[in-house]
Amino acid sequence: MDAWVWILIAIVVLVILWLAWRRSQKRKSEQLQEQFGPEYERTVQSKGGQSEAESELAQRAKRHDELEIRSLSPAARESYERSWKDTQADFVDTPREALAKADHLVQEVMRERGYPVDDFEQRAADLSVDHPGVVDNYRSAHTTSTRAGSGDASTEDMRRGMQQYRSLFDDLLERPSDEDSERGEEGDEQERPA
């Protein structure tokens, strides 16, 4: 074969390899976008580019895989729900303290579930893997809690912060949906002896 044929074959092989690599990268990007939802776009903006963001998100997922995340027992879930109700009731008279208690309660639930809680930014990054839809609420609530601690947050800001903490709190408790509860009740009725 002539040299030009070999060159042409090499070019075709390189183009095929490049197209396969591009398809693989696109699939990886789509998977990360699906997994991280709004956190994907936030990370792209904060990191200044798609490649840097995807590297960061992949590292988060890898770190998360090394954690031993576990579900709460029903008793622990009930206890935390009671604590949340108490915290929410405290908001009427002492909103600043209630907001701080909400932050602390979220951290307690995270710790019991197996998330490290030493550093806020790391907590948010770890949460973004399983809870991408509410991690931005967590960041916002934490900022409000910090501002409230120094007296720079209005009651309305703190109310919104409580709602934002609640969205993460509910996700962390992994409450069964109403549909799951109904199915469970129906299943219980079917399994009961006549």
Q: Which of 81, 38, 80, 72 is nearest to 57 (CA)?
A: 38
Burial status of residue 43 (CB atoms within 10 A of its CB: 0-12, 13-18, 19 or more): buried
What average pLDDT does the segment 163-182 reach?
75
Of the two residues 126 and 189, the one the predictor is more confident about is 126
Say how far apart CA 91 and CA 53 lie, in whole Å.
38
The domains of the chain are located at 74-176
Per-residue model confidence as pLDDT tens digits over 71-114:
999 999 999 999 999 999 999 999 999 999 999 999 999 999 99
pTM for the complete prediction?
0.73
Q: Which of 153, 1, 126 is nearest to 69 (CA)?
A: 126
Region of poorest pLDDT, from 5-14, 94-103, 170-179 = 170-179
Token output for 21? 């690599």
What rounded mean pLDDT belongs to the chain? Answer: 85
**Tell me, what DSSP letter sits at residue 38?**
H
- Look at residue 191 and tell me whether its pLDDT is greater than 50: no
What average pLDDT does the segment 135-148 reach?
93
3-state secondary structure of 68: coil
Q: 28-33 long-range contacts, Cβ below 8 Å, gap at least 24?
A: 28/54, 29/54, 32/57, 32/58
Per-residue model confidence as pLDDT tens digits over 24-74:
777 877 777 787 878 888 888 888 888 888 888 888 889 888 999 999 999
Tell me the C-alpha to C-alpha distance, in Å, between residue 105 and each of 17, 46, 110: 51, 28, 9
Of the two residues 142 and 192, the one the predictor is more confident about is 142
Of the two residues 165 and 56, the one the predictor is more confident about is 165
What average pLDDT does the segment 143-152 reach?
93
* pLDDT band of 7, cuts 50, 70, 90: confident
Q: What is the pLDDT of residue 185?
A: 41
Q: What is the pLDDT of residue 187?
A: 42
Say how far apart CA 88 and CA 109 lie, in whole Å.
16
Token output for 61? 């997922």
H-state helical runs in the chain: 3-36, 38-47, 50-66, 74-90, 95-113, 120-130, 135-149, 155-173, 178-191
